[in-house]
Amino acid sequence: MANVVIPDAVLVKNYTCGDENALAVLIKRHQSKLYGFIYSKVSDRDIADDIFQDTFIKVIRTLKSNSYNEEGKFLPWVMRISHNLIVDHFRKNKKMPMYRETEEFSIFSIMTDSSPNIENRIITDQVENDLQRLIEELPDDQREVLQMRIYQDLSFKEIADLTGVSINTALGRMRYALMNLRKVIEKNKIILTN
Partner 1 sequence: MAKIYSEKKLAAPKKMLPKKETINFLLNYSKALKVVKTSGNLTFESIAN
Q: Single out the residue of 97, 129, 11 nearest to residue 59, CA to CA.
A: 11
In the complex, the smallest distance separating the C-beta of residue 44 from partner 1, rounded to whole angstroms, is 12
* Residue span binding partner 1 (CB under 8 A) among the ranges 23-31, 123-131, 137-145, 179-187: 23-31
- Cα–Cα nearest to 100, from 49, 44, 51, 35: 44
Q: Is 43 left (phi over 0), alpha (psi -120 to 50) or beta?
A: left
CA dihedral (59, 62, 65, 69) in degrees, to 10, reads -110
Angle in degrees, CA 75, 80, 83, rounded to 5: 125
Q: Smaller CB distance to partner 1: residue 56 or 74?
A: 56
The answer to whether the CB of 22 falls within 8 A of the CB of 12 is: yes
Residues 58-97 that bind partner 1 (CB under 8 A): 60-61, 64-66
Instruction: Pick between residue 66 and residue 112 the one whose CB is nearest to partner 1.
Output: 66
Please report whether residue 138 would count as binding partner 1 according to CB under 8 A.
no
- Measured distance CA(25)–CA(11) in Å, rounded: 8
Q: Which is nearer to partner 1, 82 or 142 (CB)?
A: 82
Q: Of 53 and 126, which has the nearer Cβ to partner 1? A: 53
Candidates 44-52, 73-81, 129-137, 154-162: pick the segment binding partner 1 (CB under 8 A): 44-52
Q: How many residues bind partner 1 (CB under 8 A)?
A: 20
Q: Which of 11, 12, 56, 145 is in the footprint of partner 1 by CB under 8 A? A: 56
In one-letter notation, the amino acid at residue 91 is R
Q: Which of 49, 130, 141, 144 binds partner 1 (CB under 8 A)?
A: 49
- Rounded Cα distance between 98 and 150, Å, is 48
> For binding to partner 1 (CB under 8 A), which residues are involved?
20, 23-24, 27, 31-32, 35-36, 39, 48-49, 52-53, 56-57, 60-61, 64-66
